[in-house]
Every structure is written in C-alpha cells, then in structure tokens.
Amino acid sequence: MKDAKSRYRLGVDVGGTHTDLVLLDTMSGELLVEKVSSTPSNPALGVLNGVAKFVARGIPADAIEFFAHGTTITTNALLEMRGAKVGVLITKGYRAVQEIQAQARDGNLFDYFYSKPTPIVPQSLTREIPERSDYLGNVLLPLDRDAVRNAARQLHEAGAESIAVCYLFSFMNPEHEEETRRIIQAEIPGAQVSISSEVLPRIREWARLSTTLLNAYLEPVLVRYIDHLNKGLDEVGVGTQQRFLMQSNGGVMPFSAAIAGGRTVHTLLSGPAAGAQASAYLNEKEATSGLVTLDMGGTSADIAFIEGGMPLEVTEGVIARRQIDVPALDMTTISAGGGSLAWIDGAGFLTVGPQSAGAAPGPACYGRGGTRPAVTDADVVCGYLNPNYFLGGSQTLDVEASRNAIKTEIADKLGISVLEAAAGVRRIVDMRMADEVRVFAAKRGVDLSTFTLLPFGGAGAVHAAAVAEELGMKRLLVPPRPGAFSALGLLCTDVVHDYIRSELRPLADVSPEHADEIFRVLEKKASEELVAEGMKVEDAMFSRELDLRYTGQGYELRTPLDGLFNGRLDAKAMVAARDRFDERHAQIHGHAAKERSVEVVSYRLRLRVAVPKYVPTLGVAPAKPRAVAEAIKGTRTIYFDGRTPVESNVYERDGLDIGIVLNGPAVIEQFDATTIVPPTWSARVDHYHNLILERGNA
C-alpha cells in the first residue's frame, strides 16, 4: 500500500504570464490545480508561491515525493541576451570560426542590410591554444598547457564567468579538451567550463562551437536559478530529492544533471515540450491518427505535430538566430499570446506582437498599470471572457480599461468602433497562428484535413475554433485542464538522456563489432552518469540510432536500429539498417538512391528510465445524464465579427456530464481556461472528460 507520507507528485510549468502547478494524489488519482502570477525578476518565487498555496489547502509539503519543472529561464535569458560573460579557447588558427559561422543565411535572402547575429564572445575574449588532432583523433600537436594557464588567467581577470573550449576534431579525441578543463579549474577554482566534446561531440565545426558557446553562456544562469529554487523548496518543506527539469526532447533530467555535463542547452525548449509530450501520452488514439497542438499562453503560441503516437523530433535547430544542434521536439513558436500587444505601425496598419505585456503589468484589463491593449483585452471586449470569472473568480478583469486602451491606441487611430478594433485584433492573431500551422505542415508533408487540433494554455481554447476554421480542420480536442496542461505533461514523461559520437566512415567499411563497441562506450558513459544522478542502471532502457546519408549529401537522417538486432550488432543488422535508411529517405524526401553508397556520420544513444506517470481515469456516463438545459448557468453576448451581437449560452465545464452534447454558440468556463464553441459547431464530453468540438451541429 502507498505510504500516505509520500503520496503527491507535482508538475510545475513557468510561463510568461502565469505559473501553473498540477498536483497528483497517487492514492486517489485526484488532480489539484493552482495558477499564480509569474515573477519574471525571479521565476523561482512564482513556483514557491504556488507550492505555498497547496500547503495552505492542507497538503503537507513533505508528502510531495516528486517534483518536475518546465521552465523558460534559459530561453528568456537567450532572447533577452542576459547570459554570462563568456571566454572561449579554440585551436590556434581558428579564432574566426565564430565570426564566419556557416554559409547558410537566415531570414530574408533579399535583405540588403542583413548582418549576422552579434557573436556571444567577442574576439577580445577569444584565445587561441596551440594543439591539434587530425580527423581520426591522432594527436599532431600536443596541448600547450602553459598557453591554457595564461589564457585562463587572462579571461578570469577580464571578468569571464564561464569558459567554452572547442578544439578541432575533439569529438574524435577529447583528451585535449578534458585536460584543458582540468587546468582551468586548477587555475580558477569553481570555474564553469563547457567543453565541446561533452556538449556536442559531433562533426560540423560551427554547429559544435555555437552549441558549446550557448551552454557556457546560459549555464551560470541555470545554476543560479536551480540553486535558488532548491533552497526555496527545502525551506517550504519539499524535501524530496526527486527534483527534475524538463528537456527539449520531451524527457526530464535530475536537477544535478542540468547543472553539470554540458546539458544546459538541453533546456532551451523545456517549457513547450511538456505540453507536446502530454498530448501524445494522454491521447493515444488521436496521437496515432494525427494531432496538431496549439499551446497559447500569455506571451507566445507553441505548435507541434504528433504522428504515429509520437511528437516529431529534430536534431538541429535555431533559437533567437543561434545555432543549437541537440535533440528536441519539432516545434515552432510565434509571438501570439494573450499578452501580445496590439498597435498601429508606421504605415497605419493594425499589428499584433511581438511585444508582450507579460505578467507585469499585463494586459490593461489586469488593472496593474498597463495601458496598451493586448489580445486578452480584445477577448474581453468581444465577450469571450467573463470578467468576473477569470481564474475561477480569483481575479476580476477591468472591461472599461480594455475598452479605453483599444479605443485610444487602435479604434480612434483607424476611425472604427471599439468592437471592430477588438475583432480585428483577434482576427490577426488567429490568422497568424493558422498561417504558422499551415507553413509548418507544408514543410513536413502533413495533411491537416485528417488531423485533430488540440488547444491548451490559458488562451488556446478561446481561439482554437477560429484557427481550425481558417485551416479547414473539422475537429478539436480540449483536455480537461487546458490551462495547466503543460504542467500535467511533466507528470507524463520519463527520464531521458541523449548521447552522440561522430565518426564519418562508409557504412560498408564499418564492421558490426566496431559499431557495437562505439555504442557500448556510450552506454558505459550513460550508466555512469545515471548512477551519479542517484538512479539504477537496471531500470534503464537503451535505444540506438545511426545518422546515415548518401555519399556526397550535406545532411543525414536518424535511422533507428530498434528491432534489427538482439544483444549485439551483426552483419544482418547493418544490412537492415541500410534498408531502413532507404525507406526513411523515400518517405521524407520522396525518393531513395539505392544504387548509391551510404556513409555513417554519427552514432546516437538514448537512455530512458521510466518513472511513475499520471494515468487518466476512464469515466462512466451517468445512467440518466442531465439535460443540456440544466447545465446552462447563464447567457452572454458575444461579437464574433465585431458587429453582430450573438446571444450565447454559458456552461460550467465541471457541470457537463460524460456523453452530453451541446450546440454552439456556447461558452464553456472553468477555473483555468475558457472554451468557445462558435455557431455551426457542436461539443460533447467523452469518457476521459475531454471536450470534443466538431464542425456541424449535432
């Protein structure tokens, strides 16, 4: 029987406007939700405020056995360029790599004023170190230890808080980088050092350097944050050592792993990844047939696709114009949230974002001093939100403040009514989200007509039907607690670590024994790190992949080896890997070159340790479901087009029985979110208490 003293599991998601907390009672299966204002100056305070609310409700802090956390702390630090002062050590003769970067150019190809992003490390903090290994890892020039000592002292005196080390071909032979770290830490005790052979041991010099620089730039920020959060959790009585941080790949890692071993860069999509993971885990049927997730929060909207039951993944990406090549869920983010500000640009056009009102002061209707209109203000003016039932009535929205802000900043300048201006703001933000989904789908060959749109976040279900109509989608699935869905996702995932080792060689020249030895080395490293993190190796599951490409290609494809071998790789498995690569290439690119030779670029290993997860309960429809009319708690006038008033029924979501069906127009309210059912749409409650919206009246 479960020990009552350790019965709760807590998931926390820190957003730009609100911090969401979901507490699972493992004995009863009950979920408790709290939503508090985020504290941008120190996000840990918002987390601790939410924990204190649970304690005030009678939850013993020492009964929380598991704490999982999704955060945008590193993402925001990068976006706002608030990272540490970094120095870099690089192989002599290669100090210009950061200036040259790569041949690829982001943004508009026809922009005559294009310039590359400002380097994270200026040349004044770059030091060249005499050393050299060749492409096979053979040492051509020994490491100049005195040069490392002098460089470390100089960078320390210049105020560098963190040092990145990136030597040529260190992914083949890491000894020089590892020795460099030891020298730096002996010279400067407590120094934070990121080495590329640990952060990203793979080919492509700029991608490896960029990812290592980002790790060095952000690691001090994350270390300070986790230290503050750890102390705060100890002070409020949350004594569990099972404290985990969400990663970009949809898995979690212990706090200890996040601040060591070059894993800071794995947290850059920590926040949005949890929602995509929850979508796949909790909606198995829809995830198999296809889901588009729309996580619309206070500052942004995050979009992901789920096919075959799993979120799509990438191994290369760009965040804030910075190259970062680590495994991550394939997601895109746009500045389209409830706090996105509406304004008139220099040409006189109505624009929404990218600026956001954030948590402080927030939209004008929050009454915290904000005077500029945001998307939430438009939702209030159009009648979508109940000003007296925001966050279950814990916060009252100022409708007049919203009207005045929209009138002053938009309506008067355009010569239109306040309602028309508010509807215009909504139309723009809905179109932007739809356009982003459409482009994202086209790039990945997704047929949206067969997919279900799954909205969550505080504002997702308010805008989802309009987005679906624009995309020609006919079905929505709104989870039971959409406003806290990402926090719930933290209770739906495993511990996951990814490892990689590059070694470019023709597949035909790679013996099964050689490939197996490389994987064994990666597994040994993974096992050692797992033990250091306080987990058991026997609980771990390993999966292997090869990055393969046709000879001469400039890109490769991840090719899973699952099911191709038993215990050790053999010749049959290597042939099957080639066949699987051809199939994947044809599936993704529309053709396969079976007559061409294939190269191995990298070896990948994924470690997964299963942890207890939230299990949704299958509900039972009552023998005599209440009539739809009995669930109505009132009516409200909504302006869908900014001109025509539409009288809509208002329902309390918790009062809707399983199996109940209602026709739009309707507003379904709950503590953490509002769902809009437009005219010509219907909604029903399924056996998992999801709201299923479909085009066409029932």
Which DSSP string corresponds to 464-512?
HHHHHHHHT--EEEE-SSGGGHHHHHTTS--EEEEEEEEEEEEGGG--H
- State which H helix or E strand residue 194 sits in: strand 192-195
Cβ–Cβ < 8 Å for 472, 448: yes
**C-beta atoms surrounding 446 within 10 Å:** 18
- The H-assigned helical ranges of 346-477 are 375-381, 399-406, 412-414, 418-444, 460-471
- pLDDT tens, residue by residue, 667-677: 999 988 999 99
The predicted model gives 254-260 an average pLDDT of 80
pLDDT above 80: residue 61: yes
Q: How far apart are the C-alpha atoms of 417 and 339, rounded to whole Å?
A: 22
Mean residue pLDDT across the chain = 90
Bridge partner residues of 329 (DSSP): 313
The predicted model gives 446-472 an average pLDDT of 91
pLDDT above 60: residue 191: yes
What's the chain's length in residues?
A: 698
Structure tokens given for 80: 């706002």
Q: Which of residues 417 and 626 earns the better pLDDT score? A: 417
Domains (range + CATH), the chain: 4-78+223-267 (3.30.420.40), 81-218 (3.40.50), 340-427 (no CATH), 495-609 (3.30.1490), 628-695 (no CATH)
**3-state class (DSSP) for residue 604:** strand
Structure tokens given for 48: 């601790």
pLDDT above 90: residue 260: no
The predicted model gives 372-381 an average pLDDT of 94
pLDDT above 80: residue 244: yes
Residue type, 249: N
Structure tokens given for 244: 């985990």
The predicted pLDDT at position 1 comes to 39
Residue with tokens 């990121």: 194
- pLDDT tens, residue by residue, 627-664: 888 889 999 999 998 889 999 999 999 889 998 999 98
- pLDDT tens, residue by residue, 86-107: 999 999 999 999 888 887 777 7
The predicted pLDDT at position 527 comes to 94
Looking at the chain, the whole-number percentage of residues with pLDDT higher than 70 is: 99
The predicted pLDDT at position 455 comes to 95
Cβ–Cβ < 8 Å for 653, 684: no
The predicted pLDDT at position 698 comes to 62
Cβ–Cβ < 8 Å for 264, 74: yes
The two beta strands, 132-133 and 301-307, are unpaired
- pLDDT tens, residue by residue, 143-167: 999 999 999 999 999 999 999 999 9
**What is the DSSP code (8-state) at residue 627?**
P
3-class DSSP string for 439-470:
HHHHHHCCCHHHCEEEEECCCHHHHHHHHHHH
The predicted model gives 156-183 an average pLDDT of 96
The predicted pLDDT at position 412 comes to 94
- State which H helix or E strand residue 521 sits in: helix 512-532
Residue type, 230: N
Q: How far apart are the C-alpha atoms of 2 and 196, rounded to whole Å?
A: 44
The predicted model gives 580-593 an average pLDDT of 90
- Contact residues for 273 (Cβ-Cβ < 8 A; gap 6+): 70, 246, 247, 248, 249, 250, 328, 329, 331, 489
Bridge partner residues of 71 (DSSP): none
Cβ–Cβ < 8 Å for 548, 507: yes
The predicted pLDDT at position 5 comes to 65
Q: How far apart are the C-alpha atoms of 647 and 602, rounded to whole Å?
A: 60
pLDDT above 80: residue 259: no
- pLDDT tens, residue by residue, 1-57: 345 566 899 999 987 778 889 999 988 888 898 888 888 788 889 999 999 999 999
CB contact burial 280-290 (16+ within 10 A = b; e otherwise): bbbbeebbeeb
* Backbone phi, psi, residue 461, to 5°: -75, -15
The predicted pLDDT at position 384 comes to 95
Q: How far apart are the C-alpha atoms of 433 and 576, rounded to whole Å?
A: 41
Q: How far is CA 509 from the centre of its chain?
A: 39
The predicted model gives 390-411 an average pLDDT of 89
The predicted pLDDT at position 4 comes to 53
Cβ–Cβ < 8 Å for 409, 357: no
- pLDDT tens, residue by residue, 106-127: 777 788 888 888 889 999 999 9
Find which of 354-363, 601-610, 624-633 is predicted with most confidence, using mean pLDDT.
601-610
Cβ–Cβ < 8 Å for 459, 338: yes
